[in-house]
Structure formats: C-alpha cells, structure tokens
Structure 1
Amino acid sequence: MPGPGRSGQSLPLSTAPVTTASPLDHIRGITTYWASLTGRSAESLPYKQWRMLLDTLGLGIEQVMRHVGSQRPDYTGFGAWIIETAGLPDPVTVARYNAQVDGIAPPATVVERLAAVDAAPPVFDDADLADWDEKGVIVLRNAITAAEAAAAADVLWQQVGGHADDPDSWYGGPRENGIMIQHFQHPAQTRIRRSPRILKAFAQLWGTTDLWMTTDRMSFNPPERPDYRFPGPHLHWDASLTQPMPFGTQGILYLTDTAADQGALQLVPGFHRRIGAWLDRLDGLNPRQVDLSAEAVTVPAGAGELVIWREDLPHGASPNRSRRPRLAQYLNMYSPVPGPERPWL
C-alpha cells in the first residue's frame, strides 16, 4: 500500500519571513501561502501543496479567497481568522501534511489509519466496478446514516434561512453563488468527511488509501417557478482538458431523497472513453462551448447516498422541476502526489 510522502517528490518549504509567532507556524508553507495571497510575495506554493494546506486547515477555497480579498490581513490576523473559522487543525493531519511536504514517511498513527481503511470490507463489488469502468459514475448506497444525512440537511436549511414546509422560504435572500452554499465548517459536515464507507469507496476507485479529503461546500437547488429559473451550473468540466487527463474524481452526497427531476446531478456517462477523439474532431472549436446536453442523464439517489464520477465527464446540476428542493454536500478525495504542469484547455 503506497503511503503519503513515499513518492520521493518533496514540495518546497516556505521562505516567506515570519514576523509574529503563531500556533500555526509549524505548518509547512503557511507563511508563503499568506504572503502570496495578500500580494506581499511573488513566491507561491504548487497547486497540490496549497490544496492540501487548506484541507489540512479545514478551510474551503472560496471562503479563503473571499476573506483575503476583502481584508488583506497581516500574518497574525490571517492565523487568528483561520483558528476562529475552523479551529486548530487536527495534529495528526498536520503531521501527515508536513511529512508529505518533506518527502518523508508519515507518522505511525497515519499509517494505522490508512491501514484500517485498506483492511475494511469493500463497498463496491466486481459488477459495480465494471459499471464504473464503463460509465465513469457510481453510487455508494448508505454512504452515511439517515441521522447523519438529516443533521447535515438541518445545517443547510439554517444556512439558506428556509424551512422544509414553507416553499416561499426556499427563495429568500440574495445568493451570490446560485445553488452553491459557501458553508464548510460544522460537526455534521466533518462527520460525513470521516465516514468509513466513503473513505473505502474512494480507496477502491483510486486503488490506494493515500488520499486527501476536500473541505467542500453545500448545495441547495430549489424547484423552478415563474419568478425563479435554474441558474446553473450546466454541463462543464472543472479540470483542464489537455490530453491525457490524469485520473481524478468528484462527488456529491444527497442529504434528502433526490429524484431524477429534482435538480439531480447530470452528466454524460462514458465520455471518458471518447473525450480524446472528440477533442480531435472539434477543429478549433472551444470544447467548453459545445452543447452536450442531449447526451446527458440525471443521477437520482437516496438520502445519504454518494454519487462519484470521473472528472473527465461533463457534468452539472439540472433544473429542478419537482416540488421539493435538492439538498446536497459536495466532497471528494485526491492524490497528494504532484503531477506535471498542464496548460489549461
């Protein structure tokens, strides 16, 4: 079983000056990241490192960008905001992150945690995995318990200021990010990210337990009505299409039962098998402007069930034409091993 930090590829350490002591100073690269974000240094961290850094700190990308953009904090203020927002990070996760950056073996506690995932019974059988290989999408049934799904749904209702039995409350207040709800820190969300079945599912699909969990946001997709139309996102990719695309996944966990017409995830199944040939035939067209909606299917699933898809599939939410909103939490896992630089396409 490959372990973090064993790839032989170490990541650069921070060289930005530390002017004030912080309880976060021991976390590799944090001063470089702060200095780069606030325009105080031209030095920046590689993508994989700053992504792991934020997930180690328990922060969402959007909330960091919003805070730094509006406040441009000094180093002390940045550290204080991190702790106020997400609390002190888990020491074991920090130790794992530092070991990965340093290119050394992880602590024994991390090895034990990953070994437990490796030893857990599979959550997908051979037929499931064959279907995954063919279609590039899979549903993990009973990813979390009904109580865990209900607890996260309650958090989401609080964030949108709505009530399940009051349809007019589903549309109240401006939502700058459409159906995306920028909420990242809550014990209910954290429990989901630590679900043993979810960890095992990603390990099976990736073929390794050496993966990092994202700190991702939530989603609230209410039904369309005359004064509210679905704002998107429509079919898209979140990664560069430059070939060959490295393997990657994405995921959405439904917090309530979600029917096909209830704003469910839509995607083009099997597109990973033909994306290269499809790109070659475009003859200069922008691939992101090609309409693939006729080939898309929606993916319904029950409360507490997780849909995972390959990131080379075009995907998006769909218009909600039912009578109930779609409530969901995004999550994903990724490899910490740095890959080659790829131009954006």
Structure 2
Amino acid sequence: MMQQNTPVEMANKAHAEIPGNPSTATSSKIKLNDRSNGKPLRVLTEEDWAFWIENGYIVIKNAVPREQAKATADFIWEFDEKDPNNSETWYAPARAEMKMKELTGTGMVEVYNHQHLWNNRQTQRVYDAFVDIWGTEKLWVTIDRANLNMPQRPGENKKGFIHWDYDPETRPQNVQGVLALADQTDENMGGFQCIPWLYRNYDTWKLTQPEDRDHFQPDVTGLEDKIVKVKLEAGDLLIFNSTQPHGIRPNKSGDKVRIAQYISMMPAEEDNEEMRQWR
C-alpha cells in the first residue's frame, strides 16, 4: 500500500522552496505554545501574551543591545558595498538576483553567515522570546538574510504588497521574525506592515473571495484602513505568526534607510536527517 505523506511532512520536505535560506521546515510538527505546559514566560508579560494571541504579532523591546544592532548595520552597509553617508551609492544593482521577483527592489541583502548575524541569533533574550512563543527550549534558528530598504527616488512610486509566505489554508505552525538594526519610528521610511484584522477574521473573509483567489497575495481592497505599520527601534525584535498577512511598506522618507535582519526559530527536528545535513 502506498504511504501517503501528511501535509506537515510534505511541508517539511518543501523547505528548499522557501525564499531566502531554507534552513528550517515550513511547518512544525509541534504546535505553538498554548500555555498548557504550565511553564512561566521568560520574556513576554501577560499583557504581551494577550496581545500576541489577539493580533498575531508582538514586539520584543531591546531584544539585542543597540550597540550590537548598530555593529550589524555597519557590517551590512559594508557587505552591500554602500555608504550610509553617500546616497549616490544606495541604488547600485543588487549583488544577487531575487528568486521571488516581487522582492526585487525591496532591499533584500543576500548575506547569511557572519559573526554579527550569529551574535544576534544567539542573544539570550532573542532565544527566550522564541521559547515563550513555542513553549519548548529545543529550537533551531533560521539562517536568513538582511534588508536595506532605501528611500524611493523622486519619480518612483513603488507600492508595498501584502502577502503570506505560506498558504494559510495549510494552517502552518510557524512564526517569522524581524530584528530592527536601526530605528524605524517614521511611518514614511518603510518597514513592516500587517493586517491583524485579516489574521483574526481569515475564515470568514475567505468566504467573500473568489474561488480562484491568490492564496499568497490577498486582495486588500477595502482593508487599507486596517493595515498596521509597526514601529520599531534599533534592537527590537518583531515576531509574527506565519498566518499573519504582511509585507514591507514603501520607503517614502526621502533620506532614511530601513535596516533589518530576519531571525526566527522553530522546534528542532533532530530526526529530520535531510534537514540536519542541509544545515
């Protein structure tokens, strides 16, 4: 009898299709923390937890020291061969072609392994935040890239787009994370945006959509006033549920650059030999 793969097994084998560096599975066999283990929270407060459950994202303040965030930002500028004090260098072509064409021009920096990046991934407060989210200490960290989102030049009118990285119909048990490496408190300077309303109301919203709708890029017509622009300061970590529709908003500041590192964690899969070898 032919063995059928479960949705989770199929998702785990599909890790190589994840944009960026496919260092973890698309969905965990372990469900996100429901607090039934009785363990106290390490970083999140009870107020934070309630916000996380209601809105599908949470900001961990000062997840890494500001000096550490700045050192990482300085490295990313250097790696991308751009000068933060000379805007004429900001718009050179990307050093690597994007697999997701929608990400072209969004400032993705194809750098994955450097001590500065690993310093942030191994910071205790970052780890403890993900322990709270997952309810387990046995975690693997994603080996992901960075972002330099430059301000649009005069005449440019790029629009940010809202998307899911995983089809929400598969109910992925996963989270994603963004570490701010510079202050992102100006709403005009780009950065993370999401729609908590759609996160909460997905099941009823989808009933109003056509059968052939895009499962990765929702039609947000009529939801514009529900888009939340999340403000971050250098060193803050944003964690969001993978069923949260999200995106990078356009940078219309004129002179400010959004700098970030993508960091997430999910339960380790020591029995997934293929994944272990890949890592």
CA–CA separation in structure 2 for the residues paired with 1:151 and 1:47: 36
Deviations 1:185-216 (A, max 9, x none): 10000111111101111111122223211000
Counterparts of 1:1-345 in structure 2, within 5 Å, are: 48=12, 51=15, 62=20, 122-174=42-94, 176-177=97-98, 178=105, 179-226=107-154, 228-230=156-158, 232=160, 234-242=161-169, 245-259=171-185, 260-287=187-214, 288-291=217-220, 292-322=223-253, 323-336=255-268
Look up the equivalent residue of 1:314 and give its one-letter code: P
Distance 1:50 1:310, change over 3 A: closer
**What do you get for the CA RMSD once the two structures are aligned?**
2.8
Instruction: Kindly indicate whether the alpha-carbon contact (under 8 Å) linking 2:21 and 2:145 is maintained by their aligned counterparts in 1.
Output: no
Look up the equivalent residue of 1:240 and give its one-letter code: D
Question: Counterpart of 2:26?
Answer: none
Greater relative contact order (CA < 8 Å, ≥ 6 in sequence): 2
| Matched residues, number | 233
Q: TM-score, normalised by structure 2?
A: 0.74
**Other structure's SS at 2:176 match:** strand
Instruction: Kindly indicate whether the alpha-carbon contact (under 8 Å) linking 2:181 and 2:235 is maintained by their aligned counterparts in 1.
Output: yes
Q: Percent identity?
A: 31
CA–CA separation in structure 2 for the residues paired with 1:289 and 1:281: 12
**Other structure's SS at 1:219 match:** strand
Look up the equivalent residue of 2:256 and give its one-letter code: R
* Rg (Cα) greater in structure: 1
Query: Higher strand share goes to which structure?
Result: 2
Look up the equivalent residue of 1:220 and give its one-letter code: L
Instruction: Kindly indicate whether the alpha-carbon contact (under 8 Å) linking 2:199 and 2:245 is maintained by their aligned counterparts in 1.
Output: no
Instruction: Kindly indicate whether the alpha-carbon contact (under 8 Å) linking 1:271 and 1:312 is maintained by their aligned counterparts in 2.
Output: no
Distance 1:231 1:162, change over 3 A: farther
- More moved, 300-309 vs 282-291: 282-291
1:246 Cα offset (Å): 3.4
Look up the equivalent residue of 2:81 and give its one-letter code: G
